[in-house]
A and B are shown apart, each in its own frame.
Chain A
Amino acid sequence: MFTEFFYALRRRKVPVSVTEWMTLMEALHRGYITTLDEFYYLARAILIKSEAHFDHYDVAFQEYFKGIPGSPELSEQLLEWLRNPLHRLPGEKQAEFDRMKFDELLRELEKRLREQTEQHDGGPYWVGRGGTSPFGHSGYHPEGIRIGGAPGGRHAVQIAQERRFRNYRDDLTLDVRQMRIALKGLRQLTRTGAEDELDLEKTIHATAKNVGDIELIWRRSRKNTVKLLLLMDVGGSMDPFALLVSTLFSAAHSSTHFKDFQYYYFHNCVYDNLYRDVERSETISTEHLLRTLEPDYKLLMVGDARMGPWELTERYGAIDYYERNEVPGIVWLQRLASHFTHHVWLNPDEPHFWRHHTVELIGKLFPMYPLTLDGLAQATRRLIVKR
């Protein structure tokens, strides 16, 4: 029964196992499930083990129980999401949008929506989050929208259609707490320092062996040895992502488990100097950083890696004229990447915008991940891999 549904879930990369499927069959067999609504919730409770997969479940459920691929009727809903956030814009911005222009944008969006469905699962969802799409810059994302209302008395397929769990997907960017949890992956516990921790188990055993004469056994305590260096691109094309980057920064900053944590800012690309603050008033030379920090610092770069080619590859190419960099930015990036053995790049742009000359160049130097919860988790795994 419903075997196709099982595969529909697997196709969406939901980790459903045969064990769970058999449990669902058992529940069906015993007659605990009598209506489609009950099936929707109970199958979800039994098969899905993370709210991050609820949205995939909803999509698969619609697909299976309505017998239609994708979800064309969602587009109406999507337009509604995108209309909504406008109400939340500060007054002066709203004035910029006259009615005509907005309708034009909507039409363009509809077109894009159709194109994207072919590229991504649940494609409609990506629209509007794209940082460089006309919608991204003004900073109104459908992320902020919640579709409320109690599910009382509605049909299961309708509930699935609401897709209320879009916000819980792990390929979305989320809040400080969730990022901090992802950063917890950056942990390498090693026993270091003096033998100052009592090994209770061994002490008891040794004491018992000694026929009751107490013998104390000491060991080294376990400490996290990970040191983190965070370099963040600020200003210019990064403005739409300022909130996102600051969220990541506060997550890293409030994580107490690092042995050392240092952070600096750059504008567009790394040149001779880095900055200690977002306003870029106090500088520190990149050379100095490379000299003083050991190679075992984990280097986490954050930026959209998107710039004019000359800004990356030319002398004096720095976007700020007074910078007068003798060494092209790409060389500085190479030096960073070769000095710090573990280095990754987090890019807040959508991955399908990465087909850009400088993004690809930098992508060759740094393993690049999207700045989403999923991407951050992958990046942290990459950072602690032993070479």
Chain B
Amino acid sequence: MNNGFDQFKGSADYVTSEPLRNAVNVSIALGRPLLIRGEPGTGKTQLAHSIARGLKKKLITWNIKSTTKAQDGLYVYDTVQRLNDSRFGDKDISDINRYIKKGKLGQAFLSEEQVVLLIDEIDKADIEFPNDLLNELDEMSFYIPETNETVRAVHRPITVITSNAEKELPDAFLRRCIFHYIEFPTPDLMEEIVRVHFGDIKKTLLSQAIQTFYALREIDELRKKPSTSELLDWIKALIASDIPHENISREVPFAGVLLKKETDLDYFMNNYLARAGTGRVLRR
């Protein structure tokens, strides 16, 4: 396929699956935003970085907070500055354009070349937030009444939106997106991921650590299951500590790095580690 499809092939430092690559490419080709969901620590945000690197495009990140409004992404009219200038400043206040500050979306539209726009954690914002952006993302333009000006996208940005599903997104918004759910990596894929970060890791250490990690994730009673980033931290600690590799799955050293909640750690210590000698050990 060479009709402009198949652009994104992943990048050296980010491991992707084929379905994910296809989803990225179809969203680029059809000009639809790509909505990414998945467990924390599965690399949703990293995907946008990888697309930008892979396609050699600039990345514009718009981090959404609970107070973010759709308007912030388009432009902000800094009336306070203008008021201040009118009273004390010696600047030209007749040019309203000087006080129109473009938001991330506005910057992405006005960029000379196509950019990757990451709208990170869209579900943090108010429930109405995605709806307020519908038109702008559809038409790729917005109107500034203060200056009677319409900002139109020079190049349609490649839009990646991540969500942790903290809030439901409105249907009208979802209809316009391409959706991909990043599954938690399989042990094989996880090995690949760890190798990307620790190139020269010992084979026994890697297999022991991954085996223990997935066994921990199988414990249903845990309130917060360890995710990829915790595994990477843990492996870092293991490498630094020089603990004999064959003891890792039995002793689970530095369990606190993997289990961040006190109750989880207690539960694990009492139910699994304490009885390790009597036969109840982590099973896979």
Contacts and interface: CB of A to CB of B under 8 A. Distances in A.
A50 B163 CA distance: 11
Contacts of A176: 223-224
Interface in B165-185: 165-167, 169, 171, 174-181, 183
Given A45-B19, A144-B220, 5 more contacts: A31-B3, A32-B29, A42-B26, A49-B174, A207-B83
A256 interface: no
Interface in B70-105: 79-80, 83, 86-87
B189 interface: yes
Interface band, chain B: 35 or more
Interface of A: 15, 17, 19-20, 23, 26-27, 30-32, 34, 38, 41-42, 44-46, 48-51, 54, 87-88, 90-91, 144, 148-151, 164, 168, 175-177, 181, 184, 204, 207-208, 212, 243, 250
A38 B22 contact: yes
B1 A32 contact: yes
B179 A49 contact: yes
Interface of B: 1, 3, 5, 17-19, 22-23, 25-27, 29-30, 32, 35, 37, 79-80, 83, 86-87, 165-167, 169, 171, 174-181, 183, 186-189, 218, 220-221, 223-224, 279-280, 283
Contacts of B175: 17, 19-20, 49
7 contacts: A19-B175, A26-B30, A31-B5, A38-B22, A45-B179, A150-B189, A168-B181
A365 to B, nearest CB: 30
Nearest to B189: A150
Given A32-B1, A91-B279, A51 B37 contact: yes
B39 to A, nearest CB: 10
Nearest to B220: A144
Contact of B223 (A38, A51, A168, A250): A250
B187 A181 contact: no
Nearest to A168: B181
B22 A42 contact: yes
A204 B79 contact: yes
Given A31-B1, A207-B83, A212-B86, A48 B186 contact: no
